[in-house]
């Protein structure tokens, strides 16, 4: 009975376990959840690492549904920029899991928050982050104030953009940061 439920080859489990914070049981459980998001195309009993879920399918997960950065999270974890295959899915849950160290979450958060992909958090990125977090409750003037405040306080090198080190310093003082990038599976 146990064997028929194994789905992946042992080597594959070992490889996934090495690259993530999950054991074989977690990986199998995540594969079942992955397949449930598109039961018409993904058979939960057969290993399928090529079928991609759409971002909309991914965002139906309760772990992502309420996250204001769900679009960016999907984009960053998607290997091809369009969909999420099982290995992307596994990576995403691994980074968001409680086992992933703060430093790893911070490194991904930097990519997630870097909307324009220039390897820095600039004023436009901060504006977008605040907009996502606060929605319409913040007007343009307030937005400007917040962005200027963050820059003034954290742009130590005065480059008008935050490097990774500067960014880490900002989020290390933001108590809510961890909640955005943490799910329980």
The residues of the shown chain that bind Mg ion, judged by CB under 5 A, are: 114, 116, 118, 120, 122, 125
Q: How far is the CB of 116 from Mg ion (least distance, A)?
A: 4
DSSP structure string for 91-134: HHHHHHSTTS-HHHHHHHHHHHH-TT-SSSEEHHHHHHHHHHHH
Looking at residue 61, the DSSP 8-state letter turns out to be S
Q: How far is the CB of 159 from Mg ion (least distance, A)?
A: 12
Yes or no: say if 116 and 156 are a contact pair by the CB < 8 Å rule.
no
Nearer to Mg ion, 79 or 116 (CB): 116
Q: How far is the CB of 161 from Mg ion (least distance, A)?
A: 7
Of 33, 38, 43, 11, which Cα lies nearest the Cα of 24?
A: 11
CA dist 23 and 16 (Å) reads: 8
Nearer to Mg ion, 61 or 122 (CB): 122
Q: How far is the CB of 124 from Mg ion (least distance, A)?
A: 7
Nearer to Mg ion, 84 or 122 (CB): 122
Listed in sequence order, the residues at least 6 apart from 126 whose beta carbon sits closer than 8 Å to its beta carbon are 146, 147, 150, 151, 162
Nearer to Mg ion, 79 or 159 (CB): 159
């Amino acid at each position: 009975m146990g064997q028929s439920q194994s789905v992946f080859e042992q080597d594959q489990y070992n490889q996934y376990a090495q690259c993530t914070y999950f054991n074989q049981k977690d990986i199998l459980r995540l594969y079942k959840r992955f397949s449930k998001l598109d039961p018409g195309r993904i058979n939960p009993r057969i290993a399928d690492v090529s079928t991609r879920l759409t971002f909309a399918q991914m965002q139906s997960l309760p772990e992502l549904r309420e996250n204001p950065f769900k679009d960016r999270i999907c984009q960053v974890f998607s290997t091809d920029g369009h969909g999420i295959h099982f290995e992307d899915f596994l990576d995403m849950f691994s980074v968001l899991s409680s086992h992933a160290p703060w430093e790893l979450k911070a490194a991904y958060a930097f990519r997630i928050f870097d909307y324009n992909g220039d390897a820095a958090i600039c004023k436009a990125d901060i504006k977008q982050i605040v907009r996502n977090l606060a929605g319409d409750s913040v007007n343009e003037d307030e937005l400007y104030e917040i962005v200027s405040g963050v820059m003034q306080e954290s742009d130590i090198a005065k480059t008008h953009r935050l490097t990774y080190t500067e960014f880490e310093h900002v989020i290390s003082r933001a108590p809510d940061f961890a909640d955005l990038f943490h799910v329980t599976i």
